[in-house]
Amino acid sequence: MSKNNENIFIEPWIDEEGWNADNFSEIETPCYVVSKSHLEKNLRILSQVEKDTGCHVLMALKGFSMFSMFPMARKYISGTEASSVNEARLGYEEFGKEVHVFSPSYTEDNIKEYLKYANHLVFNSFSQWNKFKDICHNKVSCGIRVNVEHQEVENPMYDPSSSNSHFGVTKSNFEVDNLEGIEGFHFHNLCENGADALERTLKVFEEKFGEFLPQMKWVNFGGGHHITRRDYDLNLLTKIITDFKKKYPHLEIYLEPGEAIALNAGVLIGSVVDIFSNTAVLNVSATCHMPDVLEMPYLPTILGAKTAIDGSDNVYRLVGPSCLTGDVIGKYSFSKPLVIGQKIIFLNMAIYTMVKNNTFNGVNLSDIVILDKNGKIKIIKKFGYKDFKNRLS
Ligand SMILES: *Cc1c(COP(=O)(O)O)cnc(C)c1O
Protein backbone atom coordinates (compact mmCIF):
# COMPACT_ATOMS: atom_id res chain seq x y z
CA MET A 1 0.00 0.00 0.00
CA SER A 2 2.94 2.25 0.31
CA LYS A 3 6.57 1.97 -0.48
CA ASN A 4 9.69 1.08 1.25
CA ASN A 5 12.20 1.24 -1.48
CA GLU A 6 15.60 1.56 0.01
CA ASN A 7 18.07 -0.68 -1.76
CA ILE A 8 15.71 -3.41 -2.96
CA PHE A 9 14.48 -1.17 -5.71
CA ILE A 10 16.82 -0.08 -8.39
CA GLU A 11 15.20 1.75 -11.24
CA PRO A 12 16.05 -0.67 -14.06
CA TRP A 13 15.22 1.69 -16.89
CA ILE A 14 17.57 4.27 -15.52
CA ASP A 15 20.15 1.64 -14.78
CA GLU A 16 20.11 -0.20 -18.02
CA GLU A 17 19.79 2.73 -20.31
CA GLY A 18 22.44 4.74 -18.51
CA TRP A 19 20.14 7.64 -17.76
CA ASN A 20 21.36 10.27 -15.36
CA ALA A 21 20.55 13.83 -14.39
CA ASP A 22 22.05 15.10 -17.68
CA ASN A 23 19.28 13.43 -19.66
CA PHE A 24 16.82 15.65 -17.90
CA SER A 25 18.81 18.87 -18.12
CA GLU A 26 16.18 20.67 -20.18
CA ILE A 27 13.21 19.62 -18.12
CA GLU A 28 11.39 21.97 -15.75
CA THR A 29 11.08 20.73 -12.20
CA PRO A 30 9.46 19.44 -10.16
CA CYS A 31 8.11 16.74 -12.42
CA TYR A 32 7.30 13.08 -12.45
CA VAL A 33 8.78 11.20 -15.38
CA VAL A 34 7.10 7.88 -16.11
CA SER A 35 8.78 5.42 -18.44
CA LYS A 36 6.29 3.94 -20.85
CA SER A 37 8.54 1.01 -21.66
CA HIS A 38 9.08 0.12 -18.01
CA LEU A 39 5.37 0.32 -17.33
CA GLU A 40 4.77 -1.95 -20.29
CA LYS A 41 7.34 -4.39 -18.98
CA ASN A 42 5.40 -4.59 -15.70
CA LEU A 43 2.12 -5.02 -17.55
CA ARG A 44 3.58 -7.86 -19.62
CA ILE A 45 4.50 -9.71 -16.44
CA LEU A 46 0.97 -9.24 -15.09
CA SER A 47 -0.55 -10.31 -18.38
CA GLN A 48 1.60 -13.45 -18.30
CA VAL A 49 0.21 -14.24 -14.83
CA GLU A 50 -3.28 -14.04 -16.32
CA LYS A 51 -2.30 -16.35 -19.18
CA ASP A 52 -0.45 -18.87 -17.03
CA THR A 53 -3.14 -19.17 -14.36
CA GLY A 54 -6.44 -18.07 -15.86
CA CYS A 55 -6.85 -15.44 -13.15
CA HIS A 56 -7.81 -11.81 -13.79
CA VAL A 57 -5.55 -8.92 -12.86
CA LEU A 58 -7.10 -5.56 -11.97
CA MET A 59 -5.23 -2.31 -11.56
CA ALA A 60 -5.89 -0.86 -8.08
CA LEU A 61 -6.35 2.82 -8.84
CA LYS A 62 -5.45 3.90 -5.33
CA GLY A 63 -1.74 3.59 -6.07
CA PHE A 64 -1.61 4.64 -9.71
CA SER A 65 -4.34 6.46 -11.62
CA MET A 66 -2.34 7.84 -14.54
CA PHE A 67 -5.14 7.58 -17.07
CA SER A 68 -3.02 8.61 -20.06
CA MET A 69 -1.46 5.15 -19.68
CA PHE A 70 -4.78 3.29 -19.52
CA PRO A 71 -5.04 2.70 -23.30
CA MET A 72 -1.79 0.75 -23.07
CA ALA A 73 -2.67 -0.99 -19.80
CA ARG A 74 -6.05 -2.22 -21.01
CA LYS A 75 -4.31 -4.32 -23.66
CA TYR A 76 -2.63 -6.35 -20.94
CA ILE A 77 -4.91 -6.67 -17.91
CA SER A 78 -8.60 -7.20 -17.17
CA GLY A 79 -9.74 -3.97 -15.55
CA THR A 80 -9.57 -1.68 -12.55
CA GLU A 81 -10.28 -1.78 -8.84
CA ALA A 82 -11.80 1.30 -7.24
CA SER A 83 -12.64 2.38 -3.71
CA SER A 84 -14.48 5.62 -4.40
CA VAL A 85 -17.06 6.84 -6.90
CA ASN A 86 -14.43 8.97 -8.59
CA GLU A 87 -12.06 6.06 -9.03
CA ALA A 88 -14.88 3.83 -10.29
CA ARG A 89 -15.86 6.45 -12.83
CA LEU A 90 -12.27 6.95 -13.97
CA GLY A 91 -11.90 3.20 -14.43
CA TYR A 92 -15.19 2.96 -16.29
CA GLU A 93 -14.64 5.94 -18.57
CA GLU A 94 -10.92 5.81 -19.22
CA PHE A 95 -9.95 2.15 -18.83
CA GLY A 96 -13.11 0.28 -19.72
CA LYS A 97 -13.23 -3.50 -19.25
CA GLU A 98 -14.14 -4.64 -15.72
CA VAL A 99 -14.64 -2.28 -12.78
CA HIS A 100 -14.52 -3.84 -9.33
CA VAL A 101 -15.32 -1.83 -6.24
CA PHE A 102 -14.55 -2.29 -2.59
CA SER A 103 -15.65 0.40 -0.20
CA PRO A 104 -16.37 0.41 3.53
CA SER A 105 -18.77 3.31 3.13
CA TYR A 106 -21.64 2.84 0.71
CA THR A 107 -24.44 5.32 1.30
CA GLU A 108 -27.94 5.91 -0.07
CA ASP A 109 -26.40 8.68 -2.14
CA ASN A 110 -23.33 7.05 -3.59
CA ILE A 111 -24.62 3.51 -4.13
CA LYS A 112 -26.51 4.53 -7.27
CA GLU A 113 -23.36 6.12 -8.66
CA TYR A 114 -21.37 2.97 -7.99
CA LEU A 115 -24.00 0.91 -9.74
CA LYS A 116 -23.49 2.94 -12.91
CA TYR A 117 -19.88 1.88 -13.15
CA ALA A 118 -19.27 -1.36 -11.25
CA ASN A 119 -19.32 -5.01 -12.30
CA HIS A 120 -18.43 -6.27 -8.83
CA LEU A 121 -19.31 -4.60 -5.54
CA VAL A 122 -17.63 -5.79 -2.36
CA PHE A 123 -19.16 -5.05 1.05
CA ASN A 124 -17.11 -4.51 4.17
CA SER A 125 -19.71 -5.66 6.70
CA PHE A 126 -22.99 -7.52 6.91
CA SER A 127 -24.75 -4.34 8.01
CA GLN A 128 -23.70 -2.66 4.74
CA TRP A 129 -24.79 -5.79 2.88
CA ASN A 130 -28.19 -5.84 4.61
CA LYS A 131 -28.74 -2.20 3.83
CA PHE A 132 -27.98 -2.40 0.12
CA LYS A 133 -28.51 -5.99 -1.01
CA ASP A 134 -31.95 -5.34 -2.48
CA ILE A 135 -30.72 -2.51 -4.69
CA CYS A 136 -27.52 -4.27 -5.70
CA HIS A 137 -27.71 -7.99 -6.07
CA ASN A 138 -29.55 -8.07 -9.39
CA LYS A 139 -27.41 -5.38 -10.97
CA VAL A 140 -23.86 -6.38 -10.05
CA SER A 141 -22.04 -9.37 -8.67
CA CYS A 142 -21.86 -8.81 -4.91
CA GLY A 143 -19.15 -10.01 -2.57
CA ILE A 144 -18.17 -9.71 1.05
CA ARG A 145 -14.72 -8.78 2.31
CA VAL A 146 -13.37 -11.11 4.95
CA ASN A 147 -10.62 -10.44 7.45
CA VAL A 148 -8.38 -13.47 7.74
CA GLU A 149 -6.73 -12.17 10.94
CA HIS A 150 -3.37 -13.44 9.80
CA GLN A 151 -0.55 -10.91 9.91
CA GLU A 152 1.96 -10.62 7.10
CA VAL A 153 2.62 -6.87 7.25
CA GLU A 154 4.77 -5.30 9.94
CA ASN A 155 3.59 -1.71 9.82
CA PRO A 156 0.08 -1.59 11.37
CA MET A 157 -0.72 1.42 9.19
CA TYR A 158 -0.74 -0.94 6.19
CA ASP A 159 -1.86 -4.16 7.84
CA PRO A 160 -5.51 -5.07 7.19
CA SER A 161 -5.14 -7.91 9.72
CA SER A 162 -3.93 -5.68 12.54
CA SER A 163 -6.05 -5.96 15.67
CA ASN A 164 -7.67 -2.56 15.18
CA SER A 165 -8.30 -2.90 11.46
CA HIS A 166 -11.80 -2.02 10.33
CA PHE A 167 -11.55 -4.03 7.12
CA GLY A 168 -13.49 -7.17 6.43
CA VAL A 169 -15.69 -9.52 8.41
CA THR A 170 -13.83 -11.71 10.87
CA LYS A 171 -14.70 -15.35 11.34
CA SER A 172 -16.43 -14.58 14.65
CA ASN A 173 -18.60 -11.88 13.02
CA PHE A 174 -19.38 -13.98 9.97
CA GLU A 175 -23.11 -14.48 9.33
CA VAL A 176 -23.42 -17.95 7.88
CA ASP A 177 -27.14 -17.50 7.24
CA ASN A 178 -26.80 -14.20 5.45
CA LEU A 179 -25.03 -15.28 2.28
CA GLU A 180 -27.95 -15.44 -0.12
CA GLY A 181 -27.06 -13.17 -3.02
CA ILE A 182 -23.37 -13.09 -2.18
CA GLU A 183 -21.33 -14.48 -5.05
CA GLY A 184 -17.78 -13.86 -3.98
CA PHE A 185 -15.23 -13.39 -1.24
CA HIS A 186 -12.63 -10.65 -1.12
CA PHE A 187 -9.60 -10.59 1.10
CA HIS A 188 -6.82 -8.02 1.02
CA ASN A 189 -4.12 -8.89 3.49
CA LEU A 190 -0.79 -7.97 1.96
CA CYS A 191 1.47 -4.99 1.34
CA GLU A 192 4.70 -5.23 -0.65
CA ASN A 193 4.68 -8.98 -0.03
CA GLY A 194 6.05 -11.99 -1.86
CA ALA A 195 4.12 -15.03 -3.06
CA ASP A 196 5.04 -16.89 0.14
CA ALA A 197 2.89 -14.45 2.12
CA LEU A 198 -0.02 -15.10 -0.23
CA GLU A 199 0.46 -18.84 0.23
CA ARG A 200 0.23 -18.52 4.02
CA THR A 201 -2.72 -16.11 3.82
CA LEU A 202 -4.61 -18.35 1.43
CA LYS A 203 -4.17 -21.32 3.74
CA VAL A 204 -5.73 -19.39 6.63
CA PHE A 205 -8.47 -18.07 4.35
CA GLU A 206 -9.36 -21.61 3.31
CA GLU A 207 -9.32 -22.90 6.88
CA LYS A 208 -11.68 -20.14 7.99
CA PHE A 209 -13.93 -19.62 5.00
CA GLY A 210 -13.31 -22.60 2.70
CA GLU A 211 -16.56 -24.33 3.59
CA PHE A 212 -18.50 -21.57 1.81
CA LEU A 213 -16.48 -21.66 -1.40
CA PRO A 214 -18.67 -24.24 -3.17
CA GLN A 215 -21.51 -21.70 -3.18
CA MET A 216 -19.34 -18.80 -4.46
CA LYS A 217 -18.49 -17.76 -8.01
CA TRP A 218 -15.28 -15.85 -7.39
CA VAL A 219 -12.56 -14.97 -4.91
CA ASN A 220 -10.60 -11.74 -5.01
CA PHE A 221 -7.10 -12.10 -3.49
CA GLY A 222 -6.77 -8.30 -3.05
CA GLY A 223 -3.57 -6.33 -3.59
CA GLY A 224 -0.17 -6.04 -1.97
CA HIS A 225 1.40 -8.63 -4.28
CA HIS A 226 4.78 -7.26 -5.32
CA ILE A 227 4.59 -9.24 -8.53
CA THR A 228 6.83 -7.05 -10.67
CA ARG A 229 9.66 -6.81 -8.18
CA ARG A 230 12.86 -8.43 -9.38
CA ASP A 231 12.99 -11.09 -6.68
CA TYR A 232 9.26 -11.97 -6.69
CA ASP A 233 8.64 -15.68 -7.04
CA LEU A 234 6.40 -15.79 -10.10
CA ASN A 235 6.53 -19.59 -10.28
CA LEU A 236 5.19 -19.87 -6.76
CA LEU A 237 2.38 -17.40 -7.54
CA THR A 238 1.46 -19.44 -10.63
CA LYS A 239 1.47 -22.63 -8.61
CA ILE A 240 -0.67 -21.16 -5.81
CA ILE A 241 -3.35 -19.94 -8.21
CA THR A 242 -3.26 -23.03 -10.42
CA ASP A 243 -3.58 -25.35 -7.40
CA PHE A 244 -6.42 -23.27 -6.01
CA LYS A 245 -8.22 -23.38 -9.33
CA LYS A 246 -7.76 -27.15 -9.53
CA LYS A 247 -9.41 -27.47 -6.15
CA TYR A 248 -12.21 -25.04 -6.97
CA PRO A 249 -12.61 -25.12 -10.77
CA HIS A 250 -15.88 -23.18 -10.60
CA LEU A 251 -14.23 -20.07 -9.10
CA GLU A 252 -12.86 -17.05 -10.96
CA ILE A 253 -9.79 -15.58 -9.28
CA TYR A 254 -8.96 -11.88 -9.19
CA LEU A 255 -5.79 -10.11 -8.11
CA GLU A 256 -5.78 -6.35 -7.69
CA PRO A 257 -2.23 -5.06 -7.32
CA GLY A 258 -1.56 -1.34 -7.07
CA GLU A 259 2.16 -0.91 -6.51
CA ALA A 260 3.12 -3.75 -8.83
CA ILE A 261 1.52 -1.99 -11.79
CA ALA A 262 3.95 0.90 -11.87
CA LEU A 263 6.71 -0.32 -9.57
CA ASN A 264 9.96 1.41 -10.53
CA ALA A 265 8.30 2.89 -13.59
CA GLY A 266 8.78 6.53 -12.68
CA VAL A 267 10.93 9.12 -10.97
CA LEU A 268 10.35 12.48 -9.34
CA ILE A 269 12.84 15.13 -10.39
CA GLY A 270 13.50 18.21 -8.34
CA SER A 271 16.19 20.87 -8.28
CA VAL A 272 18.46 22.33 -5.62
CA VAL A 273 17.38 25.87 -4.81
CA ASP A 274 19.61 26.84 -1.89
CA ILE A 275 22.45 25.38 0.11
CA PHE A 276 23.59 26.34 3.62
CA SER A 277 25.26 24.46 6.47
CA ASN A 278 24.80 21.11 4.77
CA THR A 279 21.14 21.69 4.19
CA ALA A 280 19.92 21.70 0.60
CA VAL A 281 16.53 23.29 -0.02
CA LEU A 282 14.79 21.68 -2.99
CA ASN A 283 11.74 22.64 -5.01
CA VAL A 284 10.18 19.24 -4.29
CA SER A 285 8.41 18.67 -1.03
CA ALA A 286 8.12 15.56 1.10
CA THR A 287 4.73 16.59 2.37
CA CYS A 288 3.27 17.68 -1.01
CA HIS A 289 4.92 15.46 -3.63
CA MET A 290 5.89 12.29 -1.78
CA PRO A 291 3.78 12.26 1.39
CA ASP A 292 4.57 8.60 2.16
CA VAL A 293 8.09 9.71 3.02
CA LEU A 294 6.54 11.29 6.12
CA GLU A 295 3.54 9.02 6.59
CA MET A 296 5.20 5.67 6.36
CA PRO A 297 7.91 6.97 6.97
CA TYR A 298 10.75 5.93 4.66
CA LEU A 299 13.87 7.28 3.01
CA PRO A 300 13.46 7.42 -0.76
CA THR A 301 16.32 6.34 -3.00
CA ILE A 302 18.10 9.07 -4.95
CA LEU A 303 19.97 8.30 -8.14
CA GLY A 304 23.71 8.62 -7.48
CA ALA A 305 23.37 9.23 -3.73
CA LYS A 306 23.69 7.06 -0.65
CA THR A 307 22.12 7.12 2.75
CA ALA A 308 24.40 9.24 4.94
CA ILE A 309 26.25 7.38 7.66
CA ASP A 310 28.94 8.55 10.07
CA GLY A 311 31.98 9.62 8.09
CA SER A 312 30.17 9.95 4.73
CA ASP A 313 31.33 12.69 2.36
CA ASN A 314 29.22 15.52 1.00
CA VAL A 315 26.35 14.94 3.36
CA TYR A 316 23.25 17.05 2.91
CA ARG A 317 19.91 17.16 4.61
CA LEU A 318 17.37 17.60 1.82
CA VAL A 319 14.35 19.70 2.67
CA GLY A 320 11.28 20.86 0.79
CA PRO A 321 10.06 24.36 -0.06
CA SER A 322 7.08 24.47 2.32
CA CYS A 323 7.04 26.15 5.74
CA LEU A 324 6.60 22.88 7.57
CA THR A 325 9.68 22.32 9.72
CA GLY A 326 9.20 18.61 9.17
CA ASP A 327 9.23 18.89 5.38
CA VAL A 328 12.47 16.93 5.42
CA ILE A 329 13.22 14.19 2.90
CA GLY A 330 16.32 12.86 4.63
CA LYS A 331 20.09 12.88 4.88
CA TYR A 332 22.14 11.71 1.92
CA SER A 333 25.75 11.49 0.88
CA PHE A 334 26.65 12.56 -2.66
CA SER A 335 29.79 11.83 -4.66
CA LYS A 336 30.42 15.54 -5.21
CA PRO A 337 29.30 18.70 -3.42
CA LEU A 338 25.83 19.77 -4.56
CA VAL A 339 25.44 22.95 -6.56
CA ILE A 340 22.45 25.24 -6.87
CA GLY A 341 20.33 24.33 -9.89
CA GLN A 342 21.42 20.69 -9.84
CA LYS A 343 18.70 18.12 -10.45
CA ILE A 344 17.91 15.45 -7.88
CA ILE A 345 16.22 12.27 -9.09
CA PHE A 346 14.06 10.31 -6.65
CA LEU A 347 13.45 6.71 -7.71
CA ASN A 348 10.24 4.67 -7.69
CA MET A 349 7.93 7.67 -7.57
CA ALA A 350 5.13 6.74 -9.97
CA ILE A 351 3.13 5.00 -7.25
CA TYR A 352 1.28 6.54 -4.29
CA THR A 353 2.50 10.00 -5.28
CA MET A 354 0.42 11.63 -8.04
CA VAL A 355 -2.69 10.15 -6.39
CA LYS A 356 -1.78 11.65 -3.01
CA ASN A 357 -0.37 15.03 -3.97
CA ASN A 358 -1.66 18.20 -2.42
CA THR A 359 -1.12 21.94 -2.71
CA PHE A 360 -0.39 22.58 0.96
CA ASN A 361 1.16 25.99 1.47
CA GLY A 362 0.45 26.79 -2.17
CA VAL A 363 3.27 24.51 -3.29
CA ASN A 364 2.72 23.81 -6.97
CA LEU A 365 1.76 20.30 -8.02
CA SER A 366 4.51 18.48 -9.86
CA ASP A 367 4.27 18.26 -13.68
CA ILE A 368 3.68 14.88 -15.30
CA VAL A 369 5.97 13.76 -18.07
CA ILE A 370 6.15 10.59 -20.13
CA LEU A 371 9.40 9.10 -21.30
CA ASP A 372 8.35 7.54 -24.58
CA LYS A 373 9.56 4.21 -25.88
CA ASN A 374 11.91 6.00 -28.27
CA GLY A 375 13.47 7.96 -25.40
CA LYS A 376 11.60 11.19 -26.12
CA ILE A 377 10.28 13.28 -23.28
CA LYS A 378 6.66 14.40 -23.52
CA ILE A 379 5.10 16.79 -21.01
CA ILE A 380 1.50 15.70 -20.58
CA LYS A 381 0.38 17.86 -17.69
CA LYS A 382 1.54 21.12 -16.21
CA PHE A 383 -0.04 22.50 -13.08
CA GLY A 384 -0.33 26.07 -11.89
CA TYR A 385 -2.15 28.65 -9.86
CA LYS A 386 -5.57 27.53 -11.08
CA ASP A 387 -5.12 24.03 -9.68
CA PHE A 388 -4.27 25.52 -6.30
CA LYS A 389 -7.14 28.02 -6.39
CA ASN A 390 -9.78 25.59 -7.67
CA ARG A 391 -9.52 23.50 -4.55
CA LEU A 392 -10.32 26.48 -2.37
CA SER A 393 -13.04 29.06 -2.26
C1 LIG B 1 -4.62 -0.63 -1.54
C2 LIG B 1 -5.45 -1.71 -2.05
C3 LIG B 1 -5.01 -2.48 -3.14
C4 LIG B 1 -3.65 -2.28 -3.78
O5 LIG B 1 -2.62 -2.48 -2.86
P6 LIG B 1 -1.09 -2.43 -3.30
O7 LIG B 1 -0.37 -2.61 -2.00
O8 LIG B 1 -0.83 -1.09 -3.90
O9 LIG B 1 -0.84 -3.54 -4.26
C10 LIG B 1 -5.86 -3.44 -3.63
N11 LIG B 1 -7.07 -3.67 -3.06
C12 LIG B 1 -7.53 -2.94 -2.02
C13 LIG B 1 -8.87 -3.23 -1.47
C14 LIG B 1 -6.73 -1.95 -1.48
O15 LIG B 1 -7.17 -1.24 -0.43
Identify the domain containing residue 92 by its residue range: 54-262
Of residues 193, 213, 264, the one with CA closest to residue 43:
264
Of the pLDDT bands very low, low, confident and very high (cuts 50, 70, 90), residue 16 is low
CA distance 282 to 328: 10
The answer to pTM > 0.85 is: yes
Q: How far is the CA of 314 from the CAs of 4, 307, 309, 329, in angstroms? A: 24, 11, 11, 16
Instruction: Tell me the residue type at 184.
Output: G
Say whether pLDDT at 257 is over 80.
yes
Say whether pLDDT at 175 is over 70.
yes
State the CATH number of the domain containing residue 122. Answer: 3.20.20.10
* Residue to mutate (ligand 1; options 256, 292, 348, 351; most atoms within 8 A of CB): 256
Tell whether 30 and 61 lie within a shared domain: no
User: Could you tell me if residue 46 is inside a domain?
Assistant: no
Quote the distance between the C-alpha of residue 355 and its chain's center: 9
Q: Which pLDDT belongs to residue 253?
A: 98
CA distance 24 to 147: 46
Q: Which pLDDT belongs to residue 374?
A: 84
**Structural contact between residues 359 and 387, judged by C-beta atoms closer than 8 angstroms:** yes
Tell whether 63 and 193 lie within a shared domain: yes
Q: Which of 240, 262, 284 is where one domain is finished?
A: 262
Tell whether 254 and 296 lie within a shared domain: no
Q: How far is the CA of 223 from the centre of ligand 1 (A)?
A: 4
Q: How far is the CA of 393 from the centre of ligand 1 (A)?
A: 33
**DSSP string over 213-227:** GGG-SEEE--S-B-T
Tell whether 210 and 301 lie within a shared domain: no
Sign of the torsion angle spanned by Cα atoms 380, 382, 383, 386: negative
Average pLDDT over residues 158-184: 97
The four Cα atoms 112, 114, 118, 120 give a dihedral, to 10 degrees, of: -90
Looking at the structure of the chain, the number of domains it has is 2
Q: How far is the CA of 152 from the centre of ligand 1 (A)?
A: 14
Q: Which pLDDT belongs to residue 15?
A: 65
Tell whether 309 and 208 lie within a shared domain: no
% of the chain at pLDDT higher than 70:
95
Q: How far is the CA of 121 from the centre of ligand 1 (A)?
A: 15
- Per-chain mean pLDDT for the chain: 95
Of the pLDDT bands very low, low, confident and very high (cuts 50, 70, 90), residue 23 is confident
State the CATH number of the domain containing residue 364. Answer: 2.40.37.10
**Structural contact between residues 334 and 305, judged by C-beta atoms closer than 8 angstroms:** yes
Say whether pLDDT at 294 is over 90.
yes
Of the pLDDT bands very low, low, confident and very high (cuts 50, 70, 90), residue 25 is confident
Residues with CB under 6 A from ligand 1: 1, 60, 62-63, 81, 102, 188, 191, 222-224, 256-260
* Residue to mutate (ligand 1; options 188, 190, 227, 237; most atoms within 8 A of CB): 188
* Residue to mutate (ligand 1; options 3, 5, 64, 81; most atoms within 8 A of CB): 81
CA distance 335 to 213: 57
Q: Which pLDDT belongs to residue 1?
A: 40
User: CB-based contacts of 381: which residues, under 8 Å, 6+ apart?
Assistant: 367, 368
